[in-house]
Amino acid sequence: MMAIAGQIAIEDRLQTIPATMLAAVYHGKNDVRMETVPVPSIGPGELLVRVHTCGICGTDLKKISTGSHSAPRIFGHETSGVVVATGKDVAQFQLGDRVMVFHHIPCRNCYYCRHHTFAQCETYKKVGCTAGFEPSGGGFAEYVRVMDWIVQHGTVRIPDGVSYEQACFVEPVNTCMKGVVSLRLEPDESVLVIGQGPIGLILSVLAKRTGARVITSDLYSQRLTISESFGLGLTIDASRADVIERVRELTDGRGADAVILAVGGNGLIRPAMDATRPGGRVLLFAQTVHGEAVVDPAAICVDEKTLLGSYSASVELQDESVRFVMSREMELERLISHRFPLSRGLEALELAAHPQPDSMKVVIQPGSAWEGCSK
């Protein structure tokens, strides 16, 4: 009876799409306002999705804090929800389907796609989900419009028994997979992951999945405790120990075969390279703001260390990232420390921008109060 009642509740909501909705609207540097905006209309081949959960990503926070993008916009791209309207010629999705949506999908035909550098594709850079204004993801709103090429190639149905919260991690997991793949880790290698926020922890689990020996470090002991609960036993409390010295102790004095820098800013690039053995690799994963950085050129030339970068998702890993998340190989909901209704969106963004020792993944949930939609 409860399942029937839940389905009736879903159907009731599908039939009543309002004219306006609440959204967190970006107006410039450190200026986001809760506003009432029109619900976006959709065209042929498109979907309207009511947002249940949207994770707050560090890239959106950096865009807000630097004022790097024109305004107004509605950010948020780690989105899961339910289809409430379908455009003409949409055959693969129906009303009531539970989905997650990628906001970027490449053309697969241009120079960059042919060289597997998908994030540089011009089509990829065109965001395919919007809650209004310039397309920017739109997940920090009640409804998002999913454009036709995203419907065709970047919308994923959520299986029964998988929560909206779990599903919203597909896109960030994909970005982490891309970074780990670029390191080409071998089973007998050691890898240091600097930073054990939610992204650092996902990177660590994926690195361990290759068979590599994973060492994690963070300034917050609480985060290292969470790491240990995911089977990451080799931890370094950076508030108490010299990370470089400790890594060398664990690697017969050499340094790690690979280091992943999962902390924003440029101040830790030099220490990350110092923690790497000669001939090793350093992956910059969170350095998304242009600026000067201290890099020892001799470490790259004489010590033959390789400095790598990885940004955004890879369409080549889309199926694998979906399998990883939907099979619950990693219980990603456990990374969520704070859940905010959309009405408290500004508070959610503030906490995510200034993480505390007890905060991990922060999500905004416009649909958290739906009856029968908790999965």
Is 80 exceeded by the pLDDT of residue 45? Answer: yes
Give helix 170-183 / helix 318-326 axis angle, nearest 10°: 120
| 348 and 340 Cβ atoms separated by less than 8 Å | yes
Dihedral angle over CA of 336, 192, 120, 58, nearest 10: 30
pLDDT in the model for residue 2? 37
pLDDT in the model for residue 368? 65
pLDDT in the model for residue 134? 96
Average pLDDT, whole number, for the chain? 93
pLDDT in the model for residue 290? 82
Over the stretch 343-359, which tens digit does the pLDDT of each residue have?
Answer: 999 999 999 999 999 89
pLDDT in the model for residue 375? 45
pLDDT in the model for residue 265? 85
Residues comprising the chain, all counted: 375
What average pLDDT does this structure show over 139-149? 98
- Gap between the Cα atoms of 147 and 130, Å rounded: 8
Report the DSSP beta bridge partners of residue 147: none
Q: What is the DSSP string of 7-31?
A: HHHHHHHHT---SEEEEEEEEETTE
Q: Which helix (H) or strand (E) holds 337?
A: strand 336-340
**CB-based contacts of 187, cutoff 8 Å, min separation 6:** 210, 211, 212
pTM of the model: 0.93
What average pLDDT does this structure show over 124-140? 97
Q: How far is CA 32 from CA 27, 70, 71, in A?
A: 6, 13, 10
Give the up-direction half-sphere exposure of residue 283: CA atoms within 13 A in the CB hemisphere.
29
What average pLDDT does this structure show over 100-122? 95
Q: Which helix (H) or strand (E) holds 82?
A: strand 78-86
Over the stretch 246-279, which tens digit does the pLDDT of each residue have?
Answer: 999 999 999 999 999 999 889 999 999 999 999 9
Render the burial of 181-206: b for 16+ CB within 10 Å, e for the rest.
bebebeeebbbbbbbbbbbbbbbbbb
- Gap between the Cα atoms of 132 and 112, Å rounded: 29
pLDDT in the model for residue 309? 95
Instruction: Give all domains of the chain, ordered by start, each with its CATH number.
Output: 2-162+328-364 (3.90.180.10), 187-309 (3.40.50.720)
pLDDT in the model for residue 1? 39
15 — pLDDT class (breaks 50, 70, 90): low
288 — pLDDT class (breaks 50, 70, 90): confident
Over the stretch 302-360, which tens digit does the pLDDT of each residue have?
Answer: 999 999 999 999 999 999 999 999 999 999 999 999 999 999 999 999 999 999 998 99
369 — pLDDT class (breaks 50, 70, 90): low
The dihedrals phi and psi of 35, each to the nearest 5 degrees, come to: -140, 160
Distance of CA 129 to the CA centre of its chain: 15
What average pLDDT does this structure show over 9-22? 72
Percent residues over pLDDT 90 in the chain: 89
| 325 and 332 Cβ atoms separated by less than 8 Å | yes
Is 80 exceeded by the pLDDT of residue 14? Answer: no
- Gap between the Cα atoms of 302 and 33, Å rounded: 51
Report the DSSP beta bridge partners of residue 303: none
Considering only CA atoms, which of 278, 235, 231, 273 is closest in space to residue 254? 278
Is 90 exceeded by the pLDDT of residue 13? Answer: no
370 — pLDDT class (breaks 50, 70, 90): low
